[in-house]
Amino acid sequence: MSKQNRLLARLEKEARNVRRDIVRIITRAGEGHIGPALSCVDILCVLYFEILRVDPNQPNWEERDRVILSKGHGCTALYSVLARRGFFPVEELSTYGKTGTIFGGHPDRGMVYGVEVSTGSLGHGLSLGAGMALAAKVDHKDYRVIVILSDGECQEGSTWEGAMFARMHKLDNLTAIVDRNGFQAIGRTEDIVSIEPFREKWEAFGWSTREVNGHNYEELLDTLNQIPFKKGLPSVIIAHTVKGKGVSFMENKEIWHAKVPSDEEFKQAMLELGKRDNSEVYEK
């Protein structure tokens, strides 16, 4: 097997494990945003398992790349990827949603190793990321800042304030990845406040742009290996994704924004995500 094929197989395996973690911990806790987490799994896996310069043994290493999950409600995906990348034991994920857990329904900096910013109030991540990217320039550091945005956040003026600021300061160490799943909490993004023509908007704001299939590892790898796309410009990747990706009955169904699977739905989801044996499928 070639090195590239080994990497693709590894990403596929990690992503399947992450999706299983998400379904399991949300079902067990009886709360969480399942569709939003499932749509950004592949993006996070490619980042953490291949692209980012991070060291799980030194989560506060000064030179590390920084990721901000601006769509903080998708945090179960981030928790699982961080665990599987070695920031903390995978078993700890089972405390999600329990009293005293470090894993809240939105991520907390200072509680969970690897979480750079507390998010959940949508629309703040890009401005925070721009500030961190500017700090890197001022300090002559070469770390990169990656902000994962939802498409719903791109209806918010604060996102575009961050975009203007980043262009003005030539923050080519800043990359936004938009999880363009086409849905928000109560319907289709385009039916609520249209953001199209989307790529053109980013270009008008002076950003260098690419569009990818946000579930295709080769496209994600190839694109992320090219950042920054243009020297002196911030980069944005519009990643076309499917909300609820990986579980057929959750895909593109707005009800799965924050619905919790029943026991039957849990079993079905785990079967679709590739059970290892029967006992595991039926054990929440």
Ligand X SMILES: Cc1ncc(C[n+]2csc(CCOP(=O)(O)OP(=O)(O)O)c2C)c(N)n1
Asked if 73 interacts with ligand X (CB under 6 A), we say yes
Task: Return the residues of window 193-212 that contact ligand X according to CB under 6 A.
Answer: none
Measured from the CB of residue 258, what is the shortest distance to ligand X in angstroms? 8
Asked if 185 interacts with ligand X (CB under 6 A), we say yes
Measured from the CB of residue 8, what is the shortest distance to ligand X in angstroms? 25
Q: What's the Cα-to-Cα distance from 265 to each of 5, 86, 279, rounded to whole Å?
A: 33, 30, 16
Taking the least distance from each CB to ligand X, the nearer of 38 and 224 is 38
| Nearest alpha carbon to residue 149 among 73, 223, 216, 207 | 73
Helix (H, G, I), strand (E, B) or coil at 23: helix
Which stretch, 47-55, 93-101, 115-123, 263-271, contacts ligand X (CB under 6 A)? 115-123
Contact 265, 249 (CB under 8 A): yes
DSSP conformation class of 280: H
Which stretch, 85-93, 114-122, 140-148, 228-236, contacts ligand X (CB under 6 A)? 114-122
Taking the least distance from each CB to ligand X, the nearer of 259 and 275 is 259
Taking the least distance from each CB to ligand X, the nearer of 168 and 193 is 193
Asked if 71 interacts with ligand X (CB under 6 A), we say yes
Q: How many CA atoms lie within 13 A of 53 on its CB side?
A: 11
Helices 75-84 and 3-29: angle between axes, nearest 10 degrees: 130
Which stretch, 49-57, 68-76, 78-86, 110-118, contacts ligand X (CB under 6 A)? 68-76
Contacting residue, 122, 176, 177, 212, with ligand X by CB under 6 A: 122
Which stretch, 86-94, 120-128, 159-167, 196-204, contacts ligand X (CB under 6 A)? 120-128
Contacting residue, 17, 70, 127, 150, with ligand X by CB under 6 A: 150
Contact 187, 250 (CB under 8 A): no
Contacting residue, 129, 152, 244, 261, with ligand X by CB under 6 A: 152
Sign of the four-CA dihedral 134, 125, 166, 58:
positive
Beta-carbon count within 10 A of 182 CB: 16
Asked if 120 interacts with ligand X (CB under 6 A), we say yes
Asked if 181 interacts with ligand X (CB under 6 A), we say yes
Size of the site for ligand X (CB under 6 A): 21
Amino acid, single-letter form, for residue 269 = A
Partnered with residue 177 across adjacent β-strands are 148, 237
d(Cα 157, Cα 174) in Å, to the nearest integer?
Answer: 19
Q: How many CA atoms lie within 13 A of 92 on its CB side?
A: 18
Site residues (vs ligand X, CB under 6 A)? 36, 39, 71, 73-74, 120-123, 150-153, 179, 181, 183-185, 189, 243, 257
